[in-house]
């Protein structure tokens, strides 16, 4: 494949004339004569003094710090001088409150410097952590090739990770593998497209499209945190749903319609902007969950949504979906963005693989993470809400429910089978268990019910617009609250559900 050097890629990505180089003279190292001669030859051949170039520029008008790897300089390897340059650039970007885009191309650690070069992995990772702790975006574009210690440190820490088409990406270089084991590394494994399939990168993006992808991500992440004075969201949520409109079994039937819109339609019809992310970043992805950066009107958020189109009897929601949701929770915390969780599931996988994959533990950790999350949280009960997979995404500062959304520990048929040893009593169990949106509002779980006319399948576009309007309005309300008060109310919401307390009497 054609390999662009750092300068060529830089000119392709940034706005013309906006580059400001931050690099000072490369740090002198205690190099032996042979290594010193190699450095001199590399500098003469490439016209650069090290394997990285750093600076700031604008990308579609946005001020950004950039770190470019230069593979033509000794294979892009990282030694002490290159490490010092990266560390200095990241610290400066943090001090100036700039998002960072890292564009590595490297074979890894510089062998001529040995262990001191190897330890740059730790130095660079530490300052990346400091940048992220300041709630500043850190984006990565993995170029061909990115391997070794670079791939195993700062190249794998992006909030969002893009990759160059066809790029060789892996921990162990193929040449090293062949030398160690006497055979070729399996073809097609260390390729960007394969990493995408396994949820290790968010998107494979051509260099010509990179500036647009960077701008799209930052337009959501970097939206001003201050709220506009208006509460106008552009659309009415709809007429209030009365307590007489609750028919639990009718809601169950409506929620199961194959024509009913899900989270993808919600984003299509109501989101101002969205950027889908991909997988856990740890080698897993589940088609039953969608993770995205989203903007509703002028309010940005991280959205984790159960995707009805990705779930079936043969592929129910698995533990990987919940690990992907937890990635979204961490992303919201890192970037200080509200988190929106969308519930729409017929239930989690009940299988050997789910048990061995830690399903119960992932449900527990999702609940734990959501309860403790220090950003505004909003849960949307969009359709079916069955079992642990549903409750895993439920704890939130506020809950919106579609009129035919419902929540139950088991589907009504399962509850009927337990109590009556048949499924014929499912409608009766749906009513007795008070699973529908109106009953959930009555017990204090649901704050807003979005009406359906007569159900979402009959008017998917308008329904999704109403849900989006409700999300925008609730996020604005939550963002206007003090963090301490919001957290206190979150705890009280779940502490008091189902508890009938006697009023204290004065003696």
- Please say whether the beta carbons of 347 and 311 come within 8 A: no
- 240, 247, 439, 493 from 243: Cα distances, Å: 10, 10, 8, 20
How far apart are alpha carbons 208 and 205 in whole angstroms? 8
Q: What is the DSSP string of 342-400?
A: EEEES-B--SHHHHHTTHHHHHHHHHHHHHH-SS-EEEEEEEEEBHHHHHTT---SEEE
Q: What are phi and psi of 290, to 5 degrees?
A: -115, 130
Preceding peptide of 137 cis, ω within 30°: no
Structure tokens at 180: 């160690």
In this structure, are 209 and 291 located in the same domain?
no
In this structure, are 153 and 186 located in the same domain?
yes
- Please say whether the beta carbons of 404 and 455 come within 8 A: yes
How far apart are alpha carbons 96 and 358 in whole angstroms? 42
In this structure, are 333 and 482 located in the same domain?
yes
Q: Report how many domains make up the chain.
A: 2
In this structure, are 208 and 258 located in the same domain?
no
In this structure, are 84 and 118 located in the same domain?
yes
In this structure, are 13 and 62 located in the same domain?
yes
Residue of 65, 34, 39, 41 lying closest to 50 (CA atoms): 39
E-assigned strands of 200-318?
203-204, 273-276, 289-296, 299-306
- Please say whether the beta carbons of 17 and 55 come within 8 A: no
- Decide: helix, strand or coil at residue 168: strand
How far apart are alpha carbons 463 and 450 in whole angstroms? 8
Name the packing angle between helices 263-270 and 460-479 (round to 10°). 80
What's the pLDDT at 30?
73
| β 100-103/339-345 pair status | unpaired
**Among the three residues 161, 187, 221, which one is the final residue of a domain in this structure?**
221
In this structure, are 212 and 296 located in the same domain?
no
- Decide: helix, strand or coil at residue 188: coil
Structure tokens at 9: 């890629």
In this structure, are 180 and 125 located in the same domain?
yes
In this structure, are 334 and 455 located in the same domain?
yes
Structural domain includes residue 237: no
Task: Please write the tens of the pLDDT for every residue from 355-364.
Answer: 999 999 999 9
pTM above 0.95, yes or no: no
Structural domain includes residue 458: yes
Stretches in the chain below the pLDDT threshold 50: 228-234, 503-507
In this structure, are 86 and 210 located in the same domain?
yes
Residue of 57, 54, 62, 69 lying closest to 18 (CA atoms): 57
Q: What is the DSSP string of 62-123?
A: EEEEEEEE-TTTGGG-B-HHHHHHHHHHHHHHHHTT--EEEE--B-SB-GGGTHHHHTHHHH
How far apart are alpha carbons 345 and 299 in whole angstroms? 26
CA dihedral 96, 204, 68, 12 (to 10 degrees): -90
DSSP 422: S
Structural domain includes residue 228: no
Q: Which domain holds residue 180?
A: 6-221
Q: What are phi and psi of 421, to 5 degrees?
A: 60, 30
- CB neighbour list of residue 263: distance below 8 Å, 6 or more residues apart: 290, 303, 305, 306, 307, 308, 342, 344, 382
Structure tokens at 457: 């399948």
- Please say whether the beta carbons of 304 and 291 come within 8 A: yes
Q: How many CB atoms lie within 10 A of CB 256?
A: 14
Tokens 């959930």, residue?
Answer: 440
DSSP 189: S
Tokens 């705890």, residue?
Answer: 491
CATH of the domain at 181: 3.90.226.10
According to DSSP, the residues that pair with 381 across neighbouring strands are: 343, 401
Core vs surface per residue 470-496: b (16+ CB within 10 A) or e? bbbbbbbbbbeeeeeebbeebeebeee
Structural domain includes residue 285: yes
Residue of 284, 323, 282 lying closest to 304 (CA atoms): 323
Structural domain includes residue 253: yes
| β 138-142/100-103 pair status | parallel
**Among the three residues 166, 186, 221, which one is the final residue of a domain in this structure?**
221
In this structure, are 367 and 262 located in the same domain?
yes
Whole-number CA gyration radius for the chain: 26
Structural domain includes residue 250: yes
- CB neighbour list of residue 501: distance below 8 Å, 6 or more residues apart: none
What's the pLDDT at 316?
92
Structural domain includes residue 226: no
What's the pLDDT at 226?
54
| β 203-204/160-163 pair status | parallel
In this structure, are 327 and 394 located in the same domain?
yes
Structural domain includes residue 504: no
How far apart are alpha carbons 2 and 167 in whole angstroms? 10
**Among the three residues 187, 221, 255, which one is the final residue of a domain in this structure?**
221
Degrees, nearest 5: CA angle 118-122-124 = 100
């Amino acid at each position: 494949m054609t390999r662009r050097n750092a300068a060529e890629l830089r000119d392709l990505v940034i706005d013309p004339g906006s580059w400001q180089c931050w690099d000072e003279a490369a740090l002198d190292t205690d190099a032996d004569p042979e290594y010193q001669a190699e450095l001199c030859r590399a500098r003469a051949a490439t016209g650069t003094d090290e394997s990285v170039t750093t600076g700031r520029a604008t990308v579609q008008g946005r001020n950004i710090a950039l770190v470019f790897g230069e593979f033509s300089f000794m294979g892009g390897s990282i030694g002490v001088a290159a490490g010092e340059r990266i560390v200095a650039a990241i610290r400066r970007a943090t001090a100036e409150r700039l998002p960072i885009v890292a564009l590595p191309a490297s074979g890894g650690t510089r062998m001529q410097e040995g262990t001191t070069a190897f330890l740059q992995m730790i130095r660079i990772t530490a300052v990346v952590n400091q940048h992220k702790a300041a709630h500043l975006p850190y984006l990565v574009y993995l170029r061909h090739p990115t391997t070794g210690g670079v791939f195993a440190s700062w190249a794998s820490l992006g909030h969002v990770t893009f990759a160059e088409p066809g790029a060789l990406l892996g921990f162990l270089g193929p040449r090293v593998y062949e030398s160690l084991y006497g055979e070729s590394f399996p073809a097609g494994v260390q390729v960007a497209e394969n990493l995408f399939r396994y949820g290790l990168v968010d998107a494979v993006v051509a260099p010509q499209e990179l500036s647009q992808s960077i701008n799209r991500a930052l337009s959501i992440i970097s939206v001003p945190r201050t709220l506009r004075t208006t509460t106008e969201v552009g659309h009415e949520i709809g007429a209030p749903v009365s307590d007489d409109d609750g028919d639990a079994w009718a809601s169950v039937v409506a929620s199961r319609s194959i024509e009913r819109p899900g989270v993808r339609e919600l984003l299509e019809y109501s989101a101002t902007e969205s950027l889908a992310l991909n997988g856990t970043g740890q080698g897993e992805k589940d088609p039953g969950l969608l993770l995205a950066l989203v903007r509703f009107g002028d309010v940005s958020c991280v959205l984790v949504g159960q995707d009805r189109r990705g779930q079936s009897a043969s592929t129910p929601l698995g533990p990987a979906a919940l690990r992907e949701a937890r990635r979204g929770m961490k992303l919201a915390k890192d970037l200080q963005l509200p988190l929106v969780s969308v519930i729409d599931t017929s239930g989690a996988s009940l299988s050997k693989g789910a048990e061995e994959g830690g399903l119960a533990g992932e449900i527990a950790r999702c609940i734990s993470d959501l309860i403790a999350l220090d950003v505004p949280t909003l849960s949307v009960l969009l359709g079916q809400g069955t079992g642990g997979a549903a409750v895993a995404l439920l704890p939130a500062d506020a809950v919106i429910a579609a009129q035919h959304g419902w929540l139950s520990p088991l589907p009504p048929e399962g509850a009927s089978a337990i109590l009556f040893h048949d499924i014929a009593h499912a409608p009766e169990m749906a009513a007795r268990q008070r699973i529908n949106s109106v009953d959930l509002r009555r017990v204090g779980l649901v704050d807003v019910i979005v009406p359906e006319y007569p159900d979402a399948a009959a008017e998917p576009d308008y329904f999704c617009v109403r849900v989006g309007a409700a999300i925008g309005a609730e996020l604005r309300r939550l963002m206007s609250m003090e963090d301490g008060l919001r957290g206190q109310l979150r705890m009280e919401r779940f502490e008091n559900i189902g508890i009938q307390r006697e009023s204290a009497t004065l003696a």
